[in-house]
Structure 1
Amino acid sequence: MWRGLYVPASVDQDDAQQRVLEAATLLPNTGAVTGWAAYAWAGAKWFAGMGERRAITLSTYGHKIAKRPGVEISAERMPPQERCWVDGIPITNPARSVVFEMRYAPDVREAVRWLDLALASDHVSRVEAAAYVSTLNGWTGVQVARDAIVLSDENVWSPTEVDLRLCWRLDLQLENIVCNRPVFDLDGRHIGTPDVLDLEAGVVGEYDGKAHLQGKQRATDIKREARFRASGLEYVTMVSRDRFEPSGFLRRTLEARSRARRLPVADRRWTIDQPRWWIPTHTVEQRRALSAAERGRFLGRRAA
């Protein structure tokens, strides 16, 4: 530990929040933890795992700090209103924190991944991220951040869904793509909620990890696929290998699109128009409006 402090040997030194806590002891009075680490400290889902083996960035607003292993320094200007305290640690606000990762991402695909997962946490919205980016003219990576906002989705339920959607959006240049939007028949009955849906062609995209390949979950998935197909939707599955070598998945997608019945909306047997009794949760604003009890009830596996 630093500055004469110590950590008991029983503490997991690889734990993301422990790493943030230790790094924060180096902060000057006006500094803050930023980037992925700010989200991990605030308890946002996925960020601890996404930050594994990544350095923690301290925003020091020009103060010089001796370099330490696992810690990086950002000396970019930081107005006081962009700093907040969570459980005794100063962190940058959600918009600044995620936009920092977006601006320094190696490409727009990685920038979208950071933003999608931040949006899924409900700590920031697309409107809030865009408003913050609009104040950063001339800053490093600001154009990447702008492009990522256009490509983002507020309703991602897992990192793998980001990969699937971006295969369709960036590699195949498909436009009308939505995540986890419930699909209904024309009588208002819920058919299912696909990971990703191509609204133009009527193609469902699903990611099947290990949990989907056996037992009750596999049986459930087969029945679910049958319901989608019965409603006139085509169906294509991404598996783990496709994330790293997507050519087969892209080929299967194009084949599914060629089979899809490109019926006019008026002739389709499915719709994403929600019946009046359905509680929509596909935007950050909608989810923020829910009570704690409603979040547990309506967000299902998202809230887990």
Structure 2
Amino acid sequence: MDLHLTRPGVVAPVRIDPTGRAGPRRGEARGRRWRTTSPRRVVPAEVDAGNAHQRIAERVAAMPAGCAATGWAALHWQGERWFNGIDAGGEPLAVPIATGDQVGLRQRDGLELLHGWLFDDDVIAVDGLPITRPERSVFNAVTRAPWFELGLQVAAMACAADLVSLRELARYTARLGSRQHIRRMRMTVELADENLWSPMEATMLLRWIERGHPRPLANRPVFDRDGRHLLTPDLLDPAAGVVGQYDGTVHDLREVRRRDLAKEETCRELGLQVVTMISTDLRDEQAFGRRLDAAYRRAGEVRGRRRAWTIEQPPRWVDTSTVALRRGLDDEQRRRWLGWRVG
């Protein structure tokens, strides 16, 4: 299809044109100045093929009208920064394309064709590129994820980017009736949270619930009795006084590690029991569960003491824990209260 993109830095592929007016002639297209993106379509050779947005646009341009980017590609095009189309080994993921009812389309390298009918409002245009609406993009990503945990991460990060709310996902899921994999989607909506700030927080939440402990709150700020903000743990069971933190590679950086240690010290002073998930827990799933059980046992031993902390927010505090609340902020409030999400 012919794309008329308006996104800065992304170049729409052009057709080879025998007249040379709308694109290069065939002989010119074989030269060093052009790079072939799909049969009979090219872009200037200097255009970065490794840029995720460019790669998405090139794959969509190779498809007939009526098709649209979906899954991680559509979410990334709309600003979801966590899933940028690179797998754990550093290799680019295939771009998923929703084809609707069109048949006879061939799989190509770098493409993942998703066949199946689309609702009339499922395809939207963003900066000139046809993509599926966030609800459908999340559904396709969740139901095609190789394991449940990855799909939960996708849903949580789409909510974190305010592209979709859990309520919107639930309504869309209800429209799908008994479509294949619908049970997985319903479970994802039930377990996800709108205030998780990283994919691994979604993993920790899932492991926490699977261990049989009460569902914790995600990124709920903790205050002293005078309303001063003390810390915002990744996960918190306020009834038990148990805090969950994820410690990934980035936490090895000196300044980040310093803040983490200060947070742990604050928790000890407040009587909060901290359990930390680390990257090796992804291989040994029982390790985090055992530490979590131990944290709950320690919390039980100190239960009954007067608490010097509360999760009740002071009047001046602006709650940003849900998609609806974040969408309701004006530009100045977003800069002040959500500035950490920039970049």
Q: What range is the shorter-chain TM-score in?
A: over 0.9
Which amino acid is 2:186 matched to?
Answer: R
Cα shift at 1:103: 2.0
Q: Is the 8 A contact 1:191 1:228 kept in 2?
A: no
Deviations 1:219-246 (A, max 9, x none): 2222221112211211122222222323
Which consecutive unaligned segments of at least 5 residues does structure 1 have? none
More divergent stretch after superposition (229-238 vs 254-263): 254-263
Which amino acid is 1:92 matched to?
Answer: T
Deviations 1:56-101 (A, max 9, x none): 2211212132221121222211122111101111001011110111
Determine the structure 2 residue equivalent to 1:104.
144
1:31-50 correspondence runs (5 A): 31-49=67-85
Q: Which has the higher helix share?
A: 1
Which amino acid is 2:132 matched to?
Answer: T
TM-score, length basis structure 1: 0.92
Cα shift at 1:194: 0.5
Determine the structure 1 residue equivalent to 2:95.
56
1:249-288 correspondence runs (5 A): 249-261=288-300, 263=303, 267-288=306-327
CA distance in 1, matches of 2:314, 2:137: 37
CA distance in 2, matches of 1:103, 1:5: 32
Q: Secondary structure at the match of 1:197?
A: strand
Determine the structure 2 residue equivalent to 1:12.
48
Cα shift at 1:136: 0.9
Which amino acid is 2:74 matched to?
Answer: A
Q: Is the 8 A contact 1:83 1:90 kept in 2?
A: yes
Deviations 1:10-37 (A, max 9, x none): 3333332122111111332222111111
Match of 2:232 among 193, 199, 203: 193
Q: Is the 8 A contact 1:60 1:73 kept in 2?
A: yes
| Length, aligned pairs only | 302
The alignment-based identity, stated in percent, is 39
> Are 1:148 and 2:188 an aligned pair?
yes
Match of 1:226 among 265, 275, 278: 265
Q: Is the 8 A contact 1:108 1:145 kept in 2?
A: no
Match of 2:118 among 53, 78, 81: 78
Q: Is the 8 A contact 2:85 2:92 kept in 1?
A: no
Structure of greater Rg: 2
Cα shift at 1:7: 3.1
Q: Secondary structure at the match of 1:187?
A: coil
CA distance in 1, matches of 2:49, 2:214: 44
Query: Structure 1 3/293 Cα, relative in aligned 2: closer, same or farther at 3 Å?
Result: farther
Which amino acid is 1:178 matched to?
Answer: L
TM-score, length basis structure 2: 0.82
Match of 2:280 among 235, 241, 248: 241
Measured on the aligned residues, the alpha-carbon RMSD in Å equals 2.0
Query: Structure 1 117/60 Cα, relative in aligned 2: closer, same or farther at 3 Å?
Result: same
Determine the structure 2 residue equivalent to 1:135.
175
Deviations 1:101-151 (A, max 9, x none): 112233432221110011011010000000000011121110000011110
More divergent stretch after superposition (147-156 vs 76-85): 76-85
Which amino acid is 2:205 matched to?
Answer: R
CA distance in 1, matches of 2:192, 2:86: 17
